[in-house]
Amino acid sequence: MSRARRDAFRVLLELEAGTALLESSLARNLEKAAPRERAFATSLIFMVLRNRLFLDHLLARFLDRPPAKLDPPVLAVLRLGAAEAALMSTPAHAVVSAAVELAKATPARRGQKLVNAVLRRLVGGWPEVPLPGPEAAPLERLPLVYSHPAWLVAELLAQHSPEVVEAWLQANQAQPPLTLRLNPARATREGLAADLRQHAETLEPHPLVPEGLLLRGLKLPAAQLPGFESGLFSIQDAAAQAVSHLLGVEPGMAVADLCAGAGGKTGHLAALLRGQGRLWAVDPSPARVRALRQNLGRLGVQWVSVKQADALSLTGLDGALDRVLVDAPCSGLGVCGRRPDVRWRRVPEDPARLAKLQLDLAAKGAELLRPGGALVYATCTFTRAENQEVVAGLLARCPGLRLEWPQGLATELRACIGPDGYFSTMPQRDQADAFFAARLVKE
């Protein structure tokens, strides 16, 4: 049994049980693996996560019960075997023998006979398993072909044409590029590109944001690229970079990032302020605040006021700020191309559940603004409950706000503002995660 398959099995089992997030599970389970084993295990994990619904559809044809009725360890082994058989280049005989060996060595051992029988039939029979054709209704075909939950696809179809939705889902199935944000205090985009070009198959400026570099075919982990530890750049998606530009900060302003997390946008706002003004970064999590301080230190940003606090209980800044960013906790469905586990962790009730907190945070941000100040409400999701409906609720609660974008907003960013007046990105169009943003000015 290969170590890579065993590691992949453990990660998938943890994700299915909800006991870990993808990044932490990968780090823990693959930490000691050799580079080749780590690469194969990671490929297996992402192949299963990106194609889970399709794999279960194949398995169902050769089972006497729905896949969801199987013990989770047995189902994890079967999904890995089905992925190797249908989506990878593993020979048929090796698929079966590797899966049986994996079952024997894990909690799936009681199901090894089932694994053997099902995969023997699947390796030769999966191409004959029917899928909905082009004539099928989009909501019947798209979830299965592109392995996204039906409720998620329905949300997209309510906002976009079937053609746009299909292109969106197809983009989510591909390996996304890596986007870096240069630190202008320590590097130029041209100089950084020259330093990094040998470490990627392709490297080019990102068309959406002036600090962005787009890398494909990375030859080593991103955090091991030269210049990362010395703060020449951060790893940040272009849509996340765009959010900081939307705020319209200028040197000398008083600014707050109310949901700072690990500080990706905080570091960007600090760069845009060029060290002139005041910047508060607020987050309630001790672990995230530690990561925030570490990231700001790596970038050489020592002047930010970091507060470990619930933004809703923040005092002393009411009516004092020129700009407020509320990058609200959300369902994260806009990153499910990069993080395919998200599409399976979320349930249809999550957007409405999260919307109350999002509205409260946005309203708190509005309280902190001085007259003429601006707030950006942003999420990395596309659900109406968390986006347009939250903004509508905020405008009703705080009637002194109006939707307004900065006068000098770059053409590339202004092109992402739709007829409804809101900013949004799409993976198939913008080579970025799906973000939403609204900028509201206080009268």
pLDDT (tens digit per residue) in 216-241? 999 888 999 999 999 999 999 999 99
User: Would you say 317 and 305 are in contact if contact means Cβ atoms under 8 Å apart?
Assistant: no
Confidence of residue 96 (pLDDT cuts 50, 70, 90): very high
What is the average per-residue pLDDT within 280-285?
A: 97
Q: How far apart are CA 217 and CA 254, in angstroms?
A: 40
Which pLDDT score is estimated for 2?
84
**Domains in the chain: ranges and CATH:** 3-128 (1.10.940.10), 138-165 (no CATH), 178-235 (3.30.70.1170), 238-442 (3.40.50.150)
**Residues shown for the chain:** 443
pLDDT at 121: 97
Alpha-carbon distance of 142 to 83, in angstroms, equals 19
What does the angle CA 230 – CA 236 – CA 241 come to, to the nearest 5 degrees?
A: 115
Whether residue 1 is predicted with pLDDT greater than 70 in this model: the reply is no
* Per-residue buried b or exposed e for 239-265, using 16+ beta carbons within 10 Å of the residue's own CB: bbbbbbbbbbbeeebbbbbbbbbbbbb
In this predicted structure, what is the pLDDT of residue 89? Answer: 87
| pLDDT number for residue 66 | 96
* Per-residue pLDDT band at 323 (split at 50, 70, 90): very high
How do residues 337-362 score in pLDDT, each as one tens digit? 999 999 999 999 999 999 999 999 99
| pLDDT for res 32 | 86
pLDDT tens per residue across span 107-132: 999 999 999 999 999 999 999 999 99
At residue 441, the pLDDT reads 98
Q: What are phi and psi of 272, to 5 degrees?
A: -70, -30
Average pLDDT over residues 77-96: 96
User: Nearest CA to 423 among 434, 337, 432, 322?
Assistant: 434
The count of C-alpha atoms lying within 13 angstroms of the C-alpha of 188, restricted to the half-sphere facing its C-beta, is 3
- Alpha-carbon gap, residue 196 to 181, rounded angstroms: 13
Average pLDDT, the chain: 96
Q: Is the pLDDT of residue 80 over 70?
A: yes
Distances in Å between the Cα of 430 and the Cα atoms of 174, 207, 409, 424 are 14, 8, 17, 10
Nearest to 358, CA basis, from 386, 396, 333, 380: 386
User: Do strands 401-403 and 369-379 pair parallel, antiparallel, or not at all (unpaired)?
Assistant: unpaired
Whose structure tokens read 């079967």?
78
In this prediction, residue 20 carries a pLDDT of 85
Query: What are the tokens at 81?
Result: 């075997």
Q: Give 395-428 pLDDT, tens digit per residue.
A: 999 999 999 999 999 999 999 999 999 999 999 9
pLDDT for the residue numbered 132: 95
In whole angstroms, what is the distance from residue 143 CA to residue 153 CA? 6
pTM across the whole model: 0.95
pLDDT computed for residue 220 by the predictor: 87
- What amino acid occupies position 394? L
Out of 259, 336, 380, 416, the active site residue is 380
Q: Is residue 330 annotated as part of the catalytic site, yes or no?
A: no
* Least confidently predicted of 77-81, 158-162, 315-319, 385-389: 315-319
Q: What is the pLDDT of residue 160?
A: 97
